[in-house]
Each structure stands twice: as C-alpha cells, then as structure tokens.
Amino acid sequence: MSSPIRVAILDDHQSIIDGYMFRLGQNQKTQVVATATFGQELDALLAANEIDVLILDVHVPISPDNPSPYPILHVIPKLLETYPRLTILVISMHNQPSLIKAVMDAGASGYILKDDQSTIQELGNVISAVAEGGIHLSQQAYQQLFKKMPKEAMLSGRQLEVLSLCAAYPDATTGEIADKLGVAHSTVRNFLSAAYLQLNVRSRASAVDKARHLGLITPPSVSEL
C-alpha cells in the first residue's frame, strides 16, 4: 500500500478543522499531520513537516495580535516556489468571482466553497485528485469563475498581490511592502499607481477598500468592520 497523502490545514475555526479531520480520517489515502489557526504559524508548520496538500482558508488572521487577513495572494506563489511538490486547495465561504480567479491564478489547485456539502463529504477523494495533478472547483465556484467581471477586476496578479499585502499590513511603508516582495521600492510604487488608475482612487487605503468591495482580495475580518 502506498503512503497516505500528508495533509496540513490552515483555518481560523477549530470546529472547521475538526470537521475536515473527521472527513479525512475516514479515508485511508489521507492523513492530517499538522494544523494551524493563524497565518504566522504556517512557515514553521511546513518547515517541520513533509506536506503534500495544504488546505488553506481565504480569511485567516495573521496572528493573535494582528487580525488583518493573511495575504494569501502573496503567500501562495511563495509557498509553491519554496515547496515545488506542494499542492494547495482553498476552501472558503467567499464566492466572489474575482477572488476565485486571483486565487487560482496564484497557483491553487482548487477552490471549494464551504457550503458545498457534497464536495466536503468527498474531501478525501478531492484531495487525492488534486495531489495527482488535478484541479477541483465547486460547481458554484466554477460558474463564478467564468462570470463576466467589471474592468476594475482586471488588475494583474502582481497588483493584487501588492494590495493583499497592503491590506494585511496597513501600517507598513511602501519600502516595507517592497522588502516583503523582494523587489525595488519603485516597483511597488509603480504597481500601486497602476492599481489606483484602474480602480479610480487616489490612495492606498482607498485602493484596498475598493479591491475588497469588488471581491478582488480578502474582505476585512469582523473585528475590522
């Protein structure tokens, strides 16, 4: 018998994690080896464990002290670069077509909606499929993905990555955002300037707010509203 698929879970609700663990525990092909509830825990988790498939929620706080959403549009490409054999499956309550497209463009191998009960019940089989190189979308996510989107939604993946980081670290300077991306400060300024023009706004805060409203990046947490 081949080794089970090693799964890690990042979700900020323990009850959700417990539900996934129950489903995957019924499937001999999968084994949950690590879980986390805050984004800042993910690097150490992946460094300490060999993971084949990462289940990732869209809206997870960075840390107990920072409720801002973990910038997954920035994180997913970096994880896939660091761990080339890693497969990322996103499971989220958010069904905005622009966000689904951005997540898939970032490199995720699937997007499942949390209210897609039939797919959640077959989670072990879905994980087996994506681990073997497949793509899986909830039917509603698939339909949303191919909706006609407003022209404002046509920001580049790099622009969305920058706005995602700006949302996660609202007090960071442009230089600090550039350091996180590993690019020149002027490059971030150029990305932001182009995003301002596309979104018809004049500030970083307004750009983040409008991108959230359009479903381009993760919405704010309840504590931020």
- Evaluate if pTM is beyond 0.85: no
d(CA 105, CA 101): 6
| DSSP H or E stretch at residue 6 | strand 5-10
β-partners of residue 53 are: 7, 87
Neighbours of 206 (CB within 10 A): 13
- Mode of pairing for the β-strands spanning 110-113 and 87-92: parallel
Q: pLDDT tens, position by position, for the chain (225 residues)?
A: 478 999 999 999 999 999 999 999 988 899 999 999 999 999 999 999 999 999 999 989 999 999 999 999 999 989 998 998 899 999 999 888 888 888 988 889 999 999 999 999 999 999 999 998 888 889 888 887 776 666 666 788 889 999 999 999 988 888 899 898 888 888 888 888 888 878 888 888 889 999 988 888 887 764 444
Q: Whose structure tokens read 């490059």? A: 187
- Mode of pairing for the β-strands spanning 61-63 and 66-69: antiparallel
One DSSP character per residue, 54-68 reads EEE-S--EEETTEEE
Q: Answer yes or no: are the C-beta atoms of 44 and 92 closer than 8 Å.
A: no
pLDDT value, residue 18: 95
Q: Whose structure tokens read 């018998």? A: 1
Walk me through the domains of the chain, giving residue ranges and CATH numbers. Answer: 5-145 (3.40.50.2300), 151-224 (1.10.10.10)
pLDDT value, residue 24: 93
pLDDT value, residue 225: 42
pLDDT value, residue 152: 61
> Coil, helix or strand for 92?
strand
Expressed in angstroms, the distance from the first to the final Cα of the chain is 50
pLDDT value, residue 75: 92
Compute φ and ψ for 102, nearest 5 degrees.
Answer: -65, -40
One DSSP character per residue, 104-150 reads HHHT-SEEEETT-HHHHHTHHHHHHHHHTT--EE-HHHHHHHTSPPP
d(CA 199, CA 214): 10
Q: Answer yes or no: are the C-beta atoms of 26 and 50 closer than 8 Å.
A: no
